[in-house]
Structures are given as structure tokens and as C-alpha cells.
């Protein structure tokens, strides 16, 4: 199967497969999002592995990792907003603010390395992988922002394919609730590992 052209309907907040004329389900888009995150997590870990081995220096690792984090979070923000041609300057400003949040977390991790609180071992690989997983939160936040802008009033948390934390289960059991009242993806007990998704109406 090769790549097909898509259109994005801002009112429906859905992608349409131009070949079939059908809307693409939000779950299918989210599955593609999860695939991209998985691929990029491996790349971020590979960079940290190079640092651990002394194949790149701190500055190279920082700059390359930050560039990759930015590219991933921007791609997630674009995916949530209908792609490059549909994203507005306001959307990009919002995505940029989320990138900055990640940069601050990354700076804290570098500080931990400097202070000896973070070792250059396997635990660093696990930690950098979370920056890729955190882009799932960027996607979900951008989706919620777009839903609010389009007039959605309610949201519902749906369990993904994963081992669920108790908070994810209880949030899913709430059913449809006022938009903004669910605990955001990435801020529950399972943090960045959350595979749930939120739908809107």
C-alpha cells in the first residue's frame, strides 16, 4: 500500500482520504501518531547511547536531541491541526509554547547530569525516551485546543491498548464530561507512557 493524498476538514476536525472519499477515524490517526513516536523514541535513545559511549560530546548531544524533540513535537502539533496547510500562525505559536516546556524539562535533565544526579547509563536512555513519549501529550493538547476552537463542549477518555493505570481507568469510566475537566494525557499516574486518547463532541 502506498501513501495516499489526504484533505483536512477543519469543521469536522477530520482527515479525509481523497482516494476513497471517506473520513479517516481519529483512532487510526492516533495509531499513526503512536508509530511515529515509537520510531523517534528509538532515535533519541540512540543519541543518548552515543553520549554514554563518548562518541559525541555533551554539546552535540544536547543540540541534536533538542532539534529532534522540536521536530517531533512540531510534527505532532501539525498532525493535530490538519497538517502544514491547515495549521494557523496561532496554532504554531501554541505548539512552540509546548516545545519550550519540553526544552525546560530537558534543561533540568542536563542540570541533573551536571550535578551527578543523572548517571550516563541505561537510566539516561529511558529518561530521554520520555521526551518522545511526551509528544503524545503535545498531540492531545493540540487536538483539544482545536476541538474547543471548533465549538466542542464535551470530551471522553478512551483506553488505548496498554496496561492502564487506575487513573486512566477511572477517567474512562466517567464517560462524556465537560471539555477540559478530564486529567490530560501525560499528566495521569502513567505520565508520558499513557496510551489513552480523548475524543470530543
Number of H helices, E strands in the chain: 5, 5
Instruction: Choose which of 114, 117, 174, 201 interacts with another protein (CB under 8 A).
Output: 114
Determine what percent of the chain falls in helix, strand and coil, rounding each to the nearest 5: 60, 10, 30
Residues 26-65 that bind another protein (CB under 8 A): 29, 31-32, 35-36, 39-40, 51, 54, 57-59, 62-63
Binding range to another protein, per CB under 8 A, among 99-107, 140-148, 167-175, 183-191: 99-107
How far is 169 from 199, CA to CA, in rounded Å? 15
DSSP element (H, E) containing 14: strand 14-17
Instruction: Choose which of 83, 149, 193, 199 interacts with another protein (CB under 8 A).
Output: 83
66 binds another protein (CB under 8 A): yes
Instruction: Choose which of 26, 49, 64, 120 interacts with another protein (CB under 8 A).
Output: 120
Instruction: Choose which of 44, 72, 146, 147 interacts with another protein (CB under 8 A).
Output: 72
Three cell numbers at 127?
Answer: 529518561
β-strands 197-200, 154-158 pairing: antiparallel
How far is 158 from 160, CA to CA, in rounded Å? 6
How far is 114 from 42, CA to CA, in rounded Å? 24
Query: With respect to another protein, which residue has the nearer C-beta, 30 or 188?
Result: 30
Q: Would you tell me which residues interact with another protein (CB under 8 A)? A: 1-11, 15-18, 29, 31-32, 35-36, 39-40, 51, 54, 57-59, 62-63, 66-67, 70-72, 74-75, 78-79, 82-86, 92-93, 95-97, 99-100, 103-104, 107, 110, 113-114, 120
Amino acid at each position: 500500500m502506498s501513501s495516499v493524498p489526504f484533505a483536512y476538514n477543519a469543521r469536522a476536525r477530520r482527515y479525509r482520504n481523497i482516494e476513497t472519499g471517506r473520513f479517516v477515524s481519529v483512532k487510526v490517526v492516533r495509531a499513526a501518531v503512536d508509530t511515529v513516536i515509537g520510531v523517534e523514541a528509538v532515535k533519541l535513545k540512540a543519541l543518548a547511547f552515543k553520549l554514554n559511549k563518548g562518541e559525541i560530546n555533551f554539546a552535540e548531544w544536547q543540540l541534536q536531541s533538542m532539534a529532534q524533540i522540536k521536530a517531533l513535537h512540531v510534527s505532532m502539533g501539525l498532525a493535530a491541526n490538519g497538517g502544514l496547510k491547515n495549521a494557523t500562525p496561532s496554532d504554531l505559536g501554541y505548539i512552540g509554547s509546548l516545545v519550550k516546556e519540553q526544552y525546560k524539562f530537558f534543561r533540568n535533565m542536563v542540570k541533573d547530569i551536571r550535578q551527578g544526579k543523572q548517571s550516563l547509563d541505561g537510566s539516561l536512555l529511558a529518561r530521554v525516551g520520555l521526551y518522545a513519549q511526551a509528544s503524545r501529550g503535545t498531540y492531545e493538547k493540540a487536538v483539544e485546543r482545536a476541538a474547543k476552537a471548533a465549538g466542542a463542549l464535551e470530551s471522553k477518555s478512551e483506553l488505548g491498548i496498554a496496561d492502564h493505570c487506575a487513573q486512566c481507568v477511572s477517567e474512562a469510566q466517567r464517560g462524556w464530561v465537560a471539555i477540559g475537566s478530564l486529567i490530560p494525557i501525560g499528566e495521569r499516574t502513567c505520565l508520558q507512557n499513557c496510551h489513552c486518547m480523548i475524543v470530543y463532541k
